[in-house]
Structure 1
C-alpha cells in the first residue's frame, strides 16, 4: 500500500469508525429504553417538550409586562390558568408567603415542595405531584405595598422527553469519545507503519556508515518506503562491489609492481653482468666483446619491449587509447598481416598458411593497427612455445550467422588444461616458460578484442598444439 492510500484510509477511518460506534450505541440505547424500560423516545415527544418550554417563556414574558398587582385579579388568574392549561400546566400565586391562588388542590407537603423548588434555581430537580413530574419555573414579584410574592408555573414533564434528552447527550458524548479514541489509534498505527521501517533503515545506514557493507537493507513498509529501501540496497551492493573492485585493483597493482620488478630484474642483471665483464677485461677479444655487446643490446631491447607493453596495457585498461574503426575485408587484411611476418617466421623454420572457409567475402569493423598487434602477439606467442622441428601455424577463417571466427592454430607444445583459464591474465605464464616474454601479450590482445566488442579464447589440442579463437561481429 502506498502512503497516499494509507493517508486516505486513515482520514476516512477517523470519521467512519466514530459514526459506526455512535450508531451502535444509539441503537443499544433505544433498544434498552424502548424494549426493556418501556420509554418512548420519539421526535414527537421532543417537539412536545420544546413546545412546553416555549409556552412557559411566552407566559413569563406576558406576566413581566403587567403590573405585579394584576396577578391578584381573578380575571387575570383565570387567563393565566387557561394559558397553562394548553400544556396541562398548573399555577400557584404566592403573596407575602401566603398562597392566594392555586389551580389544583395540593397537600401541604406538595405545596411545600413546590415552594421550595420555586426558591431554588431554574435547574432544580422536577417536583413530583401524584404521578406527574413538574418542572417549576418561578417569576418573582414586587408589589407596590412593599410585599413580595411570586408566580409558580408548573409544566408537566413527559418521561419520554427526558429520555430523549438523555439520548442526545449519550450519543453526543459517545461520538466525541469515539472520535478521540479512533484518532489516537489510527495516528499510532499510521505513525508505526512509517516510523518502524524508517528506524530499521536508519540502523542499517548507521551500520553501512561504520563500514559494514554486509548489512542488508530489508524492503518493508509502504510502497514509497519500500522503493527507498530498494534503491539504498542497490546503492549498498554497488558500493560493496566498488570497494571489492578497489581492493582487487590494489592487489593487481601490488602484483603488477612485483611482476615488473621480477621481469625487469632478469635482463637488467644480465646487462650489468656483461657490462662488468667488458669493464673487467673478461671480454678480451674483439669477437667476445662483440658477443657481449650484442647480448647487452638484446636485453635492452627486451626491457624496452616490456615497458612498451606495460604502457599499452595500462592505456587499454583505463580506456585511454582511442580506436579508429574501419570496414575491412577480413581475408585481405589477414593476408597482409601474414605477409609482414612471413620472413621472420621462415627464418625460425615455421610454415604459416591461411585457409578461408567463408561462404562469401565478409567485412568487419576493426582498428587495423590495434588488430595487427593482436595477430602479431598471437604469432609471437606460438613461436615462443614451438617445440617441433617443423613448426606450423594455420589461420582458419569461418563464419556463423552473426560473426566471423578467426582461428590461429599451431603445433607447438600446447597449454595445460589448468592454465587455459588464465593465459589471458596479465603476467600469467606457465612455469616451464617463466622467462619468456613480458607476460602481457595475450592480455593486450584480450583488451583490444574487448574494444572491438568481440571475444577471444583458447582451445588446447593437447600435444598437437593450441588454437586461439577470435570472434568478431559482422559489419
Structure 2
C-alpha cells in the first residue's frame, strides 16, 4: 500500500474507531437505562418541572406588567408558593438584596448561595445544591412600585435521572478520549512495523555505509514509497561499492605498473645506457661499430616501447575501459588471413605455420577482429620464445563442439613445465627460461581479450613435447548478446 493512503486511513481510523465504539456504548447505556431507570414517570416529572417554571415566570411577568405592587402582596406570594409546592419547588423574592418573601425558611448561607449565582439574567440551567437537594435556578428581574430593583429566584428540584444522564454523558466522553488514545497508540505501534522500522533500518544502513561498510545490504520493506527508496539506496550502495572496487583495482594496477616498469625496463634501459656510454667513450671508433651500437639502441628502445604499450593495454582491459567492436566473422577465413600476416616473420625465425580445419561448414562468430589478432600474435610470440628446435613448427587446429568451436595453437618447442603451466596467464608471470624477455603480459592480455568475447583460454603440455594453447568460443554470440542486453537496459532506464 502507498504511504499516502496508509496515512489517510490511519488518521481516519484514529477518529472513526473510537467514535463507533462510543456510539455503540451510548446506545447500550440508553437502552439499559430506559429499561431499568428512565421510565415514563421520569419523563412526565421532567415535563411538569418545565411547565411549573414557565407558569411561575409568566405569573411574575404578568404582575410586573399589570400591577407591580402585587409582588409585595402576601396573597400573590402565597399563590406563587402554592404553584411550586406540588413540584417541591421553592421561591425567594429579593428587594435591594433583602429577602421579602421565601417559600420556606432559608438560612443565611443558602440565601447567599442563591444571591451569588453568577449572571442571574441568563442562568437558565444553573444548578445549586441545598440540604442534599439539587435545584435548577431561574432568576427573573423585578422592579417594585417605588422603583427599587429586585429579583425572584425560582428553585426547582433536579430529577436524579437528569443527573445520571449527565454523568453518563461525561463517562461516554471520557470513554471516547481513552479509546482515542488507545487507538492512536495501537496505530502508531502498527506503523512502527511498516514505516518506522524500515526507516530505522535505512538509518542504520546509511550509518554503516558512511563508516565504509559497503557490504551492508539494504532489504526492500515497508510501503511502496519506502520500498522504492530502499531499491534506490541499494542500487547506490552497489554502484558505490563497484566504484570503490574499481578504484582500488586501478590503484593496484597502477602500483603494479610502476613496479613492473621499474623492473622490466631496467634491463633494456641499462643496455641503452651502456651503448650510449660506449659511443661517448669512443669505443665505437669505426663506422661498423657505430652502426651496430645505434641499431642495438634502436632495438632496445623498441622493446621499451612495446613493454609500455603492453602495460597500458592490460590496465585498460582489466578496468573494462576498452570497448569491443564485434563483427560477424567467418572464423576459418579469418584464421587464414592472420596466418598470411604472421607467416613472413615466422619464416624469418625458421618456424613453419599451418592450419588444419575440422569444421564441417563455415562458422560465423562475433569477433573484435583487431583484438583477436592481438591474441593470436601474443600466443605465437610466446611459442617463438620457447622454441628450441632448428625447424620449429606451429599448427593451428579448428574443431567443432556442441557449444561452439575450439582454436588450438600447438607448437613443438621446449614446452612449459608443469610447475609453470597453471600460472602462465597471470600478469607479469614469466618462467625462468624467458625471464629476461618481454613484459610478462602477453598471455594475460590474451586471456582478458578472450574473456571479453565470453570465451575461455587454457594451456596443456603435449606428450611428445611442446605446448598447446586452446581458445574456446561460443557460436551463440554471447558477447554480442550481452552487449545488446546492456544497451536495451540503458534505453529502458
Tell me the TM-score range normalised by the shorter chain: 0.7 to 0.9
SS at match of 1:373: helix
1:60 paired residue among 57, 60, 68:
57
Aligned to 1:15: 15
Q: Contact 2:90 / 2:156 at 8 angstroms: preserved in 1?
A: no
Does the C-alpha gap of structure 1 residues 92 and 454 become closer, same or farther in structure 2, counting only changes over 3 Å? closer
Q: Contact 2:250 / 2:319 at 8 angstroms: preserved in 1?
A: no
- The Cα shift of 1:391 comes to 3.5
Mapping of 1:252-291 within 5 angstroms?
252-277=253-278, 280=281
Are 1:49 and 2:46 counterparts? Answer: yes
- The Cα shift of 1:401 comes to 5.2
Mapping of 1:174-193 within 5 angstroms?
174-176=175-177, 178-179=179-180, 183=184
Q: Contact 1:127 / 1:136 at 8 angstroms: preserved in 2?
A: no
Does the C-alpha gap of structure 1 residues 173 and 325 become closer, same or farther in structure 2, counting only changes over 3 Å? closer
Does the C-alpha gap of structure 1 residues 46 and 246 become closer, same or farther in structure 2, counting only changes over 3 Å? farther
- The Cα shift of 1:90 comes to 5.7
- The Cα shift of 1:387 comes to 3.4
Pick which of 161-170 and 400-409 moved more: 400-409
Q: Contact 1:267 / 1:300 at 8 angstroms: preserved in 2?
A: yes
Output the TM-score relative to the length of structure 1.
0.74
Please give the per-residue CA displacement for 1:264-301, whole angstroms capped at 9, x wherever unaligned. Answer: 22122223334444555656788777665554444344
Q: How far, CA to CA, are the matches of 2:282 and 2:146 in structure 1?
A: 162
Mapping of 1:268-347 within 5 angstroms?
268-277=269-278, 280=281, 295-310=296-311, 312-313=313-314, 325-347=326-348
Q: Contact 1:41 / 1:164 at 8 angstroms: preserved in 2?
A: no
Q: Contact 1:39 / 1:163 at 8 angstroms: preserved in 2?
A: no
Q: Contact 2:379 / 2:469 at 8 angstroms: preserved in 1?
A: no
SS at match of 1:166: helix
SS at match of 1:466: strand
Does the C-alpha gap of structure 1 residues 150 and 275 become closer, same or farther in structure 2, counting only changes over 3 Å? closer
SS at match of 1:435: coil
Mapping of 1:73-152 within 5 angstroms?
88=87, 121=117, 123-125=127-129, 137=138, 139=140, 142-144=143-145
Please give the per-residue CA displacement for 1:317-363, whole angstroms capped at 9, x wherever unaligned. Answer: 67676766544322122122223333443443434321211121122
Aligned to 1:432: 433
- The Cα shift of 1:155 comes to 4.0
Q: How far, CA to CA, are the matches of 1:336 and 1:84 in structure 2?
A: 130
- The Cα shift of 1:60 comes to 0.8
Mapping of 1:201-240 within 5 angstroms?
201-202=202-203, 204-206=205-207, 208-209=209-210, 211-214=211-214, 216=216, 219=219, 222-223=222-223, 224-225=225-226, 227-240=228-241
Q: How far, CA to CA, are the matches of 1:154 and 1:290 in structure 2?
A: 139
Aligned to 1:105: none
Q: How far, CA to CA, are the matches of 1:204 and 1:315 in structure 2?
A: 33
- The Cα shift of 1:154 comes to 5.8
Are 1:469 and 2:471 counterparts? Answer: yes
Question: How much is the aligned-residue C-alpha RMSD, in angstroms?
Answer: 4.8
Pick which of 314-323 and 422-431 moved more: 314-323
Q: Contact 1:2 / 1:222 at 8 angstroms: preserved in 2?
A: no
Does the C-alpha gap of structure 1 residues 49 and 306 become closer, same or farther in structure 2, counting only changes over 3 Å? same
SS at match of 2:127: coil
- The Cα shift of 1:113 comes to 11
Q: How far, CA to CA, are the matches of 2:292 and 2:114 in structure 1?
A: 144
- The Cα shift of 1:398 comes to 2.4
Using CA pairs under 8 Å that are at least 6 residues apart, name the structure with larger relative contact order, 1 or 2: 1
Does the C-alpha gap of structure 1 residues 424 and 11 become closer, same or farther in structure 2, counting only changes over 3 Å? same
Q: How far, CA to CA, are the matches of 1:252 and 1:295 in structure 2?
A: 31
Does the C-alpha gap of structure 1 residues 55 and 405 become closer, same or farther in structure 2, counting only changes over 3 Å? farther
Please give the per-residue CA displacement for 1:364-395, whole angstroms capped at 9, x wherever unaligned. Answer: 34344443332222111112112356533221
Please give the per-residue CA displacement for 1:200-236, whole angstroms capped at 9, x wherever unaligned. Answer: 6446535544x53357366587334455345334423
Are 1:412 and 2:413 counterparts? Answer: yes
Q: How far, CA to CA, are the matches of 1:474 and 1:94 in structure 2?
A: 114
Aligned to 1:376: 377
- The Cα shift of 1:471 comes to 1.3
In structure 2, runs of 5+ residues without a counterpart are 118-125, 478-493
Does the C-alpha gap of structure 1 residues 120 and 276 become closer, same or farther in structure 2, counting only changes over 3 Å? closer
In structure 1, runs of 5+ residues without a counterpart are 103-107
Q: How far, CA to CA, are the matches of 1:13 and 1:443 in structure 2?
A: 67
Q: Contact 2:346 / 2:352 at 8 angstroms: preserved in 1?
A: yes
Does the C-alpha gap of structure 1 residues 346 and 126 become closer, same or farther in structure 2, counting only changes over 3 Å? same
